[in-house]
Structure 1
Amino acid sequence: MAAPGSGGDAAQEKHGRMSLQSSRDPALPHSRQDVVYDGNEAGSDRQGPGGLIRIKTAGESGRRGLHPLHFFKIIWTSSSSLSRAVNVLWPFVPAALAVYYTNTGPSTLRFSLAYIAMVPCANLIGFAGSELAKKMPHMLGVLTETTIGSIVEIILFLVLLLGTNNQNRFYIIRAAILGSILATMLLCLGLCFFAAGLRRETATFDSAISEVGTGLLLMAGLGLAIPTIFSRSISITEFNITQIDLDDRTTQLSRVVAVLLIIAYVVFVWFQMRTHHGIYDAIFEHDEHRDADKHKDAAKAKLTLTEAIVSLVISVALVTLIALALVHEIEPVVEESGISDPFMGLILVPLVEKAAEHLTAIDEAWDNQINFALSHCIGSTIQTAMLNAPLVVIIAWGRNLPLDLSFEIFEIAILILAIITVGNYLRDQKSDYLEGFLCIITYIAIAVAAFYFPTPPEAHGIVGGAEGTGVAEGGGHAERSLFM
């Protein structure tokens, strides 16, 4: 064992060596060999030989079981400031359920109430997920919180797929998949960069998160684009095949791509959770130490394990009911209001899917936990592209429904360009409010383009359109303006 006096020199030498690898934060490890597991370190959690399964005391509530008064008080007071602001929307939940199940009022009113009511329900799922995450090791906690935050998205996808017979449901699902990716990757990440930049000149994050995340995003974007490129590259007349044959080939290709993306996601999770978890745990531990309000968070009352599970069950049940109300009103709202399916699927639906994820990430960025915030943004985006979207395709396959991953050229081009743009911002491992503002502006520009983008005739099951013009009656080509 080294002499006590040599510990500082050894640490300095180690940190100096790592600074050659990353000039941003030499205190963080950059390889498995840099991670030292010391169970006797003050304040560390007990962990097993593998380092993955361990007992984390940061989320201990000091209570057991279910205490209704404490339960509701903690849900209302112990969340972040943004989440507490969202809690004032809870009266919209019973109102939305009442008007939907009594069929009261116009479709626009029922849709609006359900849309607003989804936000506090999603926020409760996010809070319950964060409470569970606090009781787990860092990497497992982040993965659990991200997965729980995706529950709303999965429920909406499944309700659209299985709970309705709308002729445009496949188109809205595909648009919602890309819209969820864009909302998290541009809007949420931009808000995180902007929030972090308001409190400090530059926010720095680790390359282990940004580089791996950027590579996976690019790979996932390419995977999602393959069926679209395949479908749009084949001319029916030139290759002497029918439209039905081309659609069948595209569907089969989409199913293969979906399976491959899920396999890639499983390998990615294994990479994070098993072979390289020590690097990520050290990064998140570092973020916890620089948390701007960690003392306030430590003093907040916490849910017990039972209370966290109960809150998840309640919130998932409410989200399912609200999702049914929301999805069943999409088609009437599109027809009555003139909103196009691209705007509905690409912008409106995704904004409520990841509401909880967005609020959590923004609060972490504000508190100088930029690695946590980045993990939520990039991790959620990767999960949508490599798990949630392929999972819906596979479920449709099991139900013999022809859902494929053939998107509009407009949508897939926007996706690839957005991935390249975000990857460029992540490359230097630092951010400021300007980069965040530019991401937000980019998302707003995409939203405006989606607003003016007409509903494609094939979204309503029409090939060739009316009288061969490609324009279907009521197909969403009516003139619209943001300034009327």
Structure 2
Amino acid sequence: MNRIFMLMTLIGVPLSVIGSLMHWSNIILFIIYCLTIVALASFMGRATESLAIVAGPRIGGLLNATFGNAVELIISIFSLKAGLIGIVLASLTGSVLGNLLLVAGLSFFIGGIKFKRQSFNVYDARHNSGLLMFAVIIAFVIPEVFSMNMNETKTLSLSIGISIILIILYLAALFFKLVTHRGVYQHGNEKPVHEEEEPEWSKGKAIAVLFVATIAVAYISEHLVHTFEYVGETLGWSELFIGVIIVAIVGNAAEHASAIVMAFKNKMDIAVEIAIGSTLQVAMFVLPVLVLISLFFETTMPLLFSWQELIAMVSSVLLMVVISNDGESNWFEGLTLLAAYLIMGIGFYLL
């Protein structure tokens, strides 16, 4: 698989540059850009996995989530610059659905096929559940409800205030987990493992790969954004479907792969940290940062989702909370999450 991604990168990056300079068909360029970003994301995933072996499960999961979301953040910034607010909000909705239902679902399902019963830190699961419900149900639904009786200026002010609070709380949550309460809530069923695992790449090489891959993703993402409108019109895809399904899957490819690999190796603490940690990072950091960044562009982005997006995210959070709160997973729970993702995917496609 690594050889395939290497080949895709070696072919895709030059084709992306040549195609953008020679103005090839937008459909062809869209396919090339998406496949190349997925291939580059695999390198980012391997680099962060190497760093995770040295750093431990919590910091490793955070690294995977952060660099996985870096791709989506880059695509979103260029989309904001182009004034595609709907696609940005839809892609962030898709990221929440993708992480909670697709990534966690595939991780539980594939890991559950190999191991009948897998467990992860129940204290982290419950802590994350509270944050998920706060971020999505409180911080996302409140602006939609209150904005009904507000003008655009007040709605934007509300969005800015909520964004600042979300960023502060997210940083406080990291401080809580990684500093003040690090190691306080240990997984009761977890037995110490003394197995030494060698990272694929050295620390220096991993950081270098991350840097180069991020630069390449930034370049390709800027051009990918300009193909959205043509592709949507040609294939009959709505802006909502492109954002929720296509951009979200492409933008989160790195963490998708990493979480599934970790589940297959029975490292469920890391797999769950990637899936849920990435969702929290999108909801409490990436989205608020984009709201603040939009203030520097011609079109500002208030924290307002459509009711379809809100209901889909709230349903995903509630389902994930119910399934993960016992600190255990199996293949059937994974299949349940995947079924929910497919149902929502069909709905957004037909909307």
Normalising by the smaller structure, the TM-score range is over 0.9
C-alpha displacement of 1:395: 1.0
Does residue 1:335 correspond to 2:233, yes or no?
yes
**Retained in 1: the 8 A contact 2:57–2:269?**
no
**Retained in 1: the 8 A contact 2:64–2:258?**
no
1:207 alignment partner AA = V
Residue by residue over 1:267-325, the C-alpha shift from the partner in whole angstroms, topping out at 9 and shown as x without a partner, is 10011111111246x559958829xxx67x43x6x423322222122101110111012
State the partner residue of 1:444: 342
Residue by residue over 1:84-127, the C-alpha shift from the partner in whole angstroms, topping out at 9 and shown as x without a partner, is 554442222322332122102x2111111111111011111222
* Alignment counterpart, residue 210 of structure 1, candidates 125, 130, 154: 125
* Contiguous gaps of at least 5 residues in structure 1: 1-81, 235-244, 454-484
1:83–1:392 distance in 2 versus 1, CA, 3 Å: farther
Q: What secondary structure does 1:393 align onto? A: helix
1:126–1:274 distance in 2 versus 1, CA, 3 Å: same
Does residue 1:352 correspond to 2:250, yes or no?
yes
* Alignment counterpart, residue 124 of structure 1, candidates 43, 46, 53: 43
1:341–1:369 distance in 2 versus 1, CA, 3 Å: same
* Alignment counterpart, residue 269 of structure 1, candidates 162, 170, 174: 174
RMSD: 2.2
The TM-score normalised by the length of structure 2 is 0.93
* Alignment counterpart, residue 271 of structure 2, candidates 355, 370, 373: 373
* Alignment counterpart, residue 257 of structure 1, candidates 153, 156, 162: 162
Moved over 6 A (4+): none
State the partner residue of 1:246: 151
1:374 alignment partner AA = V
* Alignment counterpart, residue 196 of structure 1, candidates 108, 111, 127: 111
2:151 alignment partner AA = L
C-alpha displacement of 1:328: 1.0
Higher helix proportion: 2
In structure 2, distance between residues paired with 1:446 and 1:408: 14
Matched residues, percent identical? Answer: 28
The TM-score normalised by the length of structure 1 is 0.68
After superposition, residues 405-420 of structure 1 pair within 5 angstroms as: 405-420=303-318
**Retained in 1: the 8 A contact 2:122–2:187?**
no
* Contiguous gaps of at least 5 residues in structure 2: none
C-alpha displacement of 1:400: 6.2
* Alignment counterpart, residue 220 of structure 1, candidates 110, 121, 135: 135
In structure 1, distance between residues paired with 2:67 and 2:191: 22
Q: What secondary structure does 2:266 align onto? A: coil
In structure 2, distance between residues paired with 1:441 and 1:344: 20
1:89–1:264 distance in 2 versus 1, CA, 3 Å: same
Select the structure of larger CA radius of gyration.
1
C-alpha displacement of 1:137: 4.7
**Retained in 2: the 8 A contact 1:119–1:352?**
yes
**Retained in 1: the 8 A contact 2:91–2:248?**
yes
In structure 2, distance between residues paired with 1:419 and 1:264: 18
1:284–1:89 distance in 2 versus 1, CA, 3 Å: farther
C-alpha displacement of 1:441: 1.2
2:32 alignment partner AA = L
In structure 2, distance between residues paired with 1:86 and 1:431: 30
Q: What secondary structure does 1:116 align onto? A: helix
1:342 alignment partner AA = L
State the partner residue of 2:23: 103
In structure 2, distance between residues paired with 1:175 and 1:250: 19
Q: What secondary structure does 2:140 align onto? A: helix
1:158 alignment partner AA = I
